[in-house]
Amino acid sequence: MTTNTTEMMKKAQALVPGLEVSLIPNSVDTEHFRLLPKNKALAETLGLGDLPVIGFVGELREKKGIHTLLEAYTRLNEKQPLTLLTLGDIRPGNDKKVLDEYQKANPDSRITITGFISSTDLPQYYALLDVLVMPSLRDGLPNALLESMACEKAVIATPVGGIADLIRDGENGRLVPVRDSKMLAASIQEVLVDEALRVRLGKAGRVTVINEFPLQNELDGNLALYQKVLKLSK
């Protein structure tokens, strides 16, 4: 059995004592995902203006903490106008209904949903973000976090799943409790107003990804597993 998070490995071994589990974390191409200058034309196309940009990447839904994210955004937007930029889609059904009702109740909110963006184009979108947030209720090891950290973006997330393997609070990102919109808002505010902190977390995040989550590590892990399986089958 293979898994990409320490949490899942422990759960599997607890359910099946003696089970051999290979931990093979996700990886990211740090030559492709890197710090880029802000594309002003793209920012204008998306209607971002000069406001600070909070980013979310992936499918916005309950599992990813949509309620916590919107509550934190509300707290912040009441003090200072901000843009919430979602690089991806929102799940149809109840999650879409949650966002529609929120925007109807908060007509002054500035929320942009881009829809699907190819991995080829993602780095220039990451360049538009001031901070990336992922307040997941449960998760694996999100590629979006690896990619954004490789792009030197300060990240704020919850310590669930593989996120706890990736982020060390205050060193290469910030961790906040699950469902705690007040703490999430406070952490976002802290990172937005403190440029030195934002830059430091971003640079440390890239170093983490380069050193601990390179493509070669994932390749080597899978090759070692295949070789072991081939030996056992003989």
* Within-domain flag for 231: no
Phi, psi at 179, each rounded to 5° = 65, 15
Confidence of residue 49 (pLDDT cuts 50, 70, 90): confident
| 227 within some domain | no
CATH code for the domain in which residue 75 is found: 3.40.50.2000
The total number of structural domains that make up the chain: 1
Per-residue tokens: 216: 């070669």
Q: What is the mean pLDDT of residues 134-144?
A: 95
In a domain, 57, yes or no: yes
Q: Which range of residues forms the domain containing residue 199?
A: 27-214
pLDDT, residue 194, reads 97
Is 154 contained in some domain? yes
Place 21 in a pLDDT band, splitting at 50, 70 and 90. confident
12 has a pLDDT exceeding 90: no
- 76 in a structural domain: yes
Residue 234 has pLDDT above 70, yes or no: no
For 32-36, 132-136, 146-150, 217-221, which range has the lowest pLDDT when averaged over its residues? 217-221
The answer to whether position 58 is within a domain reads: yes
Three-state secondary structure string covering the chain: CEECCHHHHHHHHHHCCCCCCEECCCCCCCCCCCCCCCCHHHHHHCCCCCCCEEEEECCECHHHCHHHHHHHHHHHHHHCCCEEEEECCECCCHHHHHHHHHHHHCCCCCEEECCCCCCCCHHHHHCCCCEEEECCCCCCCCHHHHHHHHCCCCEEECCCCCHHHHCCECCCEEECCCCCHHHHHHHHHHHHHCHHHHHHHHHHHHHHHHHHCCHHHHHHHHHHHHHHHHHHHC
Which pTM value belongs to this model? 0.92
Reported as a pLDDT band with limits 50, 70 and 90, residue 83 is very high
Instruction: Calculate Rg over the CA atoms of the chain.
Output: 19
Rounded to the nearest integer, the mean pLDDT of the chain is 94
* Mean pLDDT across 213-222: 90
The pLDDT of residue 8 is 84
| Structural domain includes residue 39 | yes
